[in-house]
Amino acid sequence: MPSLSLSFAVILPAAGSGSRVGGETPKQYLPLLGKPVLWHSIRAFSRLEGCVEVVVAVNPAWQAVAEECGAGIANLTYVAGGDQRQDSIANALQGLRTVPDLILVHDAARPCVSPGLIQRVAAAAAAHGAAIPVLPIPETVKRVDSCGAIVATIPRGELRTAQTPQGFRRQLLLSAYSHAKQQGIVGTDDSLLVEMLGHQVQTVDGELTNLKITYAQDVKKAEGILAEGAFG
């Protein structure tokens, strides 16, 4: 990964229950090539030049497992997760021990993120203040009513699905979270909170291999990607 001459910290919200996967183990702790998913996600960032801190927001009930995932990583901080993802990230922002130029926020259940994608997001965030990876939507998109009947077909040419990591200038993200708290805004991702400040968010090309483990079968897909080094 080329040096950006800027430092960054990454926040990994890992306090969720992962109920869609099934079973009692949250998806970020499922075994993946002999190690928990979170183990892989932590190292995807901690090994990169410019990474000054990895902050993991965890459910206290899984603190011990999370700490095992971070064994041997020097620049690692743990904070208590909140009731919602946004609360966990707010706690992580407060728990930062460093003052990085950029902050990247990444789903703990995306263990296959590539160095190249991280670099693209960080470079775009440095240039524009905020950047996220996106993918085009290949399928036709329908809007349905509460009964399941189609009410509209949505042109998909300008639509994209958002991935992580999402990158921001540190002060911009802090301001976005402060504004969200004051206004009672709850967003499904961090870029929305920045948008609510009136700041434009730049996009970069995402990667199909940067999958989010949501269902049990996704673990097998992730194993194949990591085993083959098939990033991108």
The DSSP symbol for 229 reads T
Read off the pLDDT of each residue in 106-127 and give the average, rounded to a whole number.
98
In a domain, 45, yes or no: yes
Taking alpha carbons only, the member of 157, 163, 156 closest to residue 201 is 163
User: Measuring CA to CA, which residue among 45, 52, 55 is closest to residue 13?
Assistant: 55
| pLDDT at residue number 2 | 44
| 105 domain residue, yes or no | yes
Dist CA 9 CA 19 (whole Å): 28
Distance between CA 52 and CA 160 in Å, rounded? 31
Assigned domain for 27 exists: yes
The span from the CA of 150 to the CA of 106, in Å, is: 34
pLDDT at 35: 96
pLDDT of residue 93: 98
Q: Is residue 53 part of a domain?
A: yes
The answer, yes or no, to whether the previous bond of 165 is cis (omega within 30 of 0) is yes
Give the structural domain span for 201. 8-133+161-228
Task: Answer whether residue 22 shows pLDDT above 80.
Answer: no
Q: List, for residues 79-108, the tens digit of each pLDDT value.
A: 999 999 999 999 999 999 999 999 999 999
Interval 149-197: pLDDT, tens: 999 999 999 999 999 999 999 999 999 999 999 999 999 999 999 999 9
* % of the chain surpassing 70 pLDDT: 94
- Is 1 part of any domain? no
What are the b/e assignments for 38-74, b being 16+ CB within 10 Å?
bbbbbbbbbebebbbbbbbbbbeebeebbeebbeeee
Under a CB-based contact definition with an 8 Å cutoff, are residues 164 and 106 in contact? yes
**Residue 67 pLDDT more than 50?**
yes
> Is the residue at 43 inside a domain?
yes
* Separation of first and last alpha carbons in the chain: 14
Is residue 148 included in any domain, yes or no?
no
Q: Indicate whether 221 belongs to any domain.
A: yes
Q: Are 73 and 59 in contact (CB under 8 A)?
A: no
pLDDT band at 59 (very low <50, low <70, confident <90, very high): very high
Query: What CATH number corresponds to the domain at position 117?
Result: 3.90.550.10
Domains contained in the chain, number? 1
pLDDT in tens, 206-215: 999 999 999 8
